[in-house]
Structure formats: C-alpha cells, structure tokens
C-alpha cells in the first residue's frame, strides 16, 4: 500500500510526462515546468487533493461502470511535398491500426495482446474512436494532415508543441488531440496531464491548445507503415501516453521508490529501461518485490506490456470525472456517431462530383467491407475493399466515372446496404 503525501508531488513533473527510448525525460520536464510554469504545480497539487477525497469516497461502493467513449482526432504533421502516404505522412491504415491497439489494451480484449490473466488486471471500460464530426459539425474521418518544412519537433519545448497545434488543433474540450510527427532528441511520446482548471488566487488558465498526446511517427500504429520493427512497434507508446493524459504516473513515481498514488501497483526503484521482458525486482522500505513490468505505464518494450490494474482504472475514470476538460470530452462524445449495431452507409455530398465520393460507413466493430458502384443497368463499374476497419469515412477513387446515376453497395461480413449515387 502506498502512502499518500501531497508534499511528494512537488518532486514530480506537473505539466507533462515524456518517454524516451534510452533515458527517462521526466527530470528535464520537471525542471522546465518548475521554472517556466510554476502555476501548473499549484494546479497539479489542487487536482491531487480533490482526487484523493474523491477516491476515498468511492472505494467502499464500487459499482459496474458504464462504457466511456472518447473521440480522437489524429493530426499527422509531415514534411512530404507530395500527397502520397509515405515517410512522415503516415497512411490512414497506420492510424486505424493504432486506434485498434489502444482499444484492445484499455478494454483488455480476449484474444489480443491487450489481454492478461492477472488477478489485478482490469478492463478500464474506456474506448476510443476516430471523431465522426469535425469542429464545424461536418462529417469527418478523424484524421487531419498538415505540411511543415520543419524536420523535427522537440516535445518538451512549448514553442515546438505550439507550432504543431497551430498547424492543426481541435477543441480539447471536445476531442483528444493526438499529434503524430517526427520528434527530436530520442523522445518518442509525451502526454499532457489533467489539471485543476481553477485555483483560487490563480488567474492564468491552463493552456487548452497544447492539451493532448504527442507521438513520434516511427512508433505510432502496430507493425505497419513507418512502424514495423523494434522495441516500440506494437503501438504501446500511445497507450502509455494516453495513460498520462488520463492522470496516471509511472509506477516508480519518477523517483527512487516513489509513488504513483495507486495502491495495487508494486512500489519500484525505477523503470524497466531494458530491451527485455525478464523479471525486475525492487527493494523499497526493506521489502523485496517484483516490479509489474507488464504495466503499460512502465518503460518496458511493447511486447511485454498488457496490464492496467484496477487501481489505475479507478484513477483514470476519476480523472474523466474530476478534470473539467476531460469531463467535457466525454460529454461531447455522447453526441458523436457511435458504432452502429447494423451496417449503415451515408454518401456525402450527394449529388457530388466523381472526384469527391465520400462514404461514411458505420460498423459494429472492426470489420472487412467492400464498396461497389454499379450503373443503372447493373454493370459493376467500381469496386474497392477495406480490411479490418472501424466505423469510418472513406474517399473512393472514382475520378474516371462519367456523370450519371449509379447504385453504391456496401457489403460487410454479414450485411449489405445499397444507396443511390448521382454524379455530375
């Protein structure tokens, strides 16, 4: 059991937590935070005080939790002159693979790498989906793409993160922003921590347009595109950083035998910064225990990770209730289009030009589906297949189709729907 002491928080990083491939970046982030943003330390202390009271009030009457769904927008910041999906301009498929991984991990899905049989392992009952609607209320794929001539970004530098945000940002009161870009100095991920947005006597507002998660393009997604090999090729960097966005610390509390304020994670002397999944032991307060190297909040290789504990689940869900900005994201999600219990397809706009046929396909879960276009005589003039996707918007490659009336058919594993399509 970890003792709660609010004074310890002064030794931690309050604004954000970064992960580095070789050396933990928290010490650098902590010193920068204290010098440049001392007001964030006060907001963090206030947040922890409120969280402690809330958690104590919840521990004796835990009930079945509802599924919380969080809309995500992925901002791809790239330096590719062409529109081709290459290099830093990662493909839609790479984005889809990452969304799938975080849902497997946060939902502890059986039959995936995110499942564990550990007695303290928990299904957090938190899900993520690419936003169906943009800030203007228009249908969206949940993916934006922005060109920058800048070849790399330093994520512990506010100015560099501001550059990314200025290129593309959606209201962080409504969306979880994930920026994917080439990151510098060996850092592969960074997640903003929740704050107490209001503190008596403190006028400065916590910066909204920097709130989100920042991931290097070479560690985003699972075994596809620019992330096919290495220790971080299973998409767990994003799982880790979203954990910070939801209020989780590293298990060692960013100091020797520190605390993460979670009772069921073993206290540890430090991170598993090795390239292996071998047991690591710590001796804190005279007791030798095994580190929970499988925890998503450790620095273990992706292939080792497969657990959030029940205590971490409780803390994350508390963050979604107590952080005003996080709570707003959850409430906004209720007005987004959820996964559909049946296959649905919407063409927009319709009528449209042949180079701009977009179809919103709503599915119950990740599925294969096929889109076909036939002319009024029933002759097939276009077909395209999509593999293992959630509800999404697809843009069809139909520039060679002449103007006229057509039938568009979407077929999933078990269902089929047909719509009229008019091209001009």
Active-site annotation, residues? 241
The contacts of residue 192 (CB under 8 Å, 6+ apart) are: 15, 16, 210, 211, 212, 213, 244, 245
Residue 376 tokens read as: 């009024």
Phi, psi of 220 (to 5 degrees): -95, 135
CB atoms < 10 A from the CB of 354, how many? Answer: 19
* Pair 217, 90: CB distance under 8 Å: yes
Element (H, E) at 385: strand 380-389
d(CA 77, CA 79): 7
Chain position carrying tokens 């004074």: 7
What is the full DSSP assignment across 401-422?
PPSEEEEEEEE-SS-EEEEEEE
Q: Is the peptide bond between 349 and the residue preceding it cis, with omega within 30 degrees of 0?
A: yes
Could you tell me which of 283, 185, 299, 165 has the C-alpha nearest to residue 243?
299
* Pair 106, 127: CB distance under 8 Å: yes
3-state secondary structure of 388: strand
Helical axes 92-106 vs 236-245, angle rounded to 10°: 60
Long-range contact set of residues 98-101: C-beta below 8 Å, sequence gap at least 24: 98/74, 98/220, 98/221, 98/222, 98/235, 98/238, 99/72, 99/128, 99/129, 99/130, 99/390, 100/222, 100/366, 100/388, 100/390, 101/221, 101/222, 101/234, 101/235, 101/236, 101/238, 101/239
């Amino acid at each position: 059991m970890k003792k709660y002491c609010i004074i310890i928080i002064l030794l931690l990083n309050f604004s954000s937590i970064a992960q580095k491939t070789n050396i933990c970046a928290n010490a650098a982030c902590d010193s920068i935070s204290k010098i440049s943003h001392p007001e964030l330390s006060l907001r963090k202390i206030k947040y922890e005080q409120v969280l402690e009271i809330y958690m104590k009030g919840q521990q004796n009457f835990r009930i079945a939790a509802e599924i919380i769904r969080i809309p995500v927008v992925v901002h791809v910041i790239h330096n590719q002159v062409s529109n081709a999906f290459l290099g830093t301009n990662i493909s839609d498929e790479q984005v889809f693979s990452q969304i799938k991984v975080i849902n497997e991990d946060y939902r502890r899905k059986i039959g995936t790498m995110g499942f564990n049989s550990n007695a303290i392992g928990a299904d957090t009952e938190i899900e993520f989906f690419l936003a169906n609607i943009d800030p203007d209320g228009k249908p969206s794929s949940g993916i934006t793409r922005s060109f920058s001539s800048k070849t790399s970004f330093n994520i512990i530098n506010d100015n560099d993160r501001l550059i990314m945000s200025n290129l593309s940002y959606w209201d962080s009161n409504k969306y979880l922003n994930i920026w994917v870009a080439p990151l510098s100095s060996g850092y592969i991920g960074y997640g903003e921590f929740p704050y107490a947005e209001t503190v008596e006597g403190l006028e400065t507002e916590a910066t909204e347009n920097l709130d989100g998660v920042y991931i290097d393009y070479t560690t985003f997604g699972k075994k596809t595109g620019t992330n096919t090999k290495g220790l971080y090729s299973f998409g767990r960097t994003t799982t880790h950083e979203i954990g910070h966005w939801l209020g989780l610390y590293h298990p060692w509390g960013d100091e020797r035998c520190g605390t993460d304020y979670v009772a069921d994670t073993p206290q540890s002397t430090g991170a598993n910064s090795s390239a292996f999944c071998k047991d690591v032991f710590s001796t804190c307060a005279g007791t030798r225990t095994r580190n929970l190297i499988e925890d998503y909040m450790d620095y273990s290789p992706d292939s080792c990770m497969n657990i959030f504990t029940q205590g971490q689940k409780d803390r994350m869900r508390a963050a979604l209730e107590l952080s005003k900005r996080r709570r707003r994201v959850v409430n906004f999600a209720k007005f987004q289009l959820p996964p559909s219990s049946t296959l649905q397809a919407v063409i927009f706009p319709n009528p449209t030009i042949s180079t701009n046929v977009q179809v919103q396909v709503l599915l119950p879960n990740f599925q294969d589906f096929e889109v076909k276009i036939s002319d009024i005589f029933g002759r097939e003039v276009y077909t395209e297949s999509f593999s293992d996707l959630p509800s999404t918007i697809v843009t069809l490659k139909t520039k060679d189709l002449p103007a006229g009336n057509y039938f568009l058919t979407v077929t999933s594993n078990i269902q089929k729907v047909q719509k009229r399509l008019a091209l001009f």
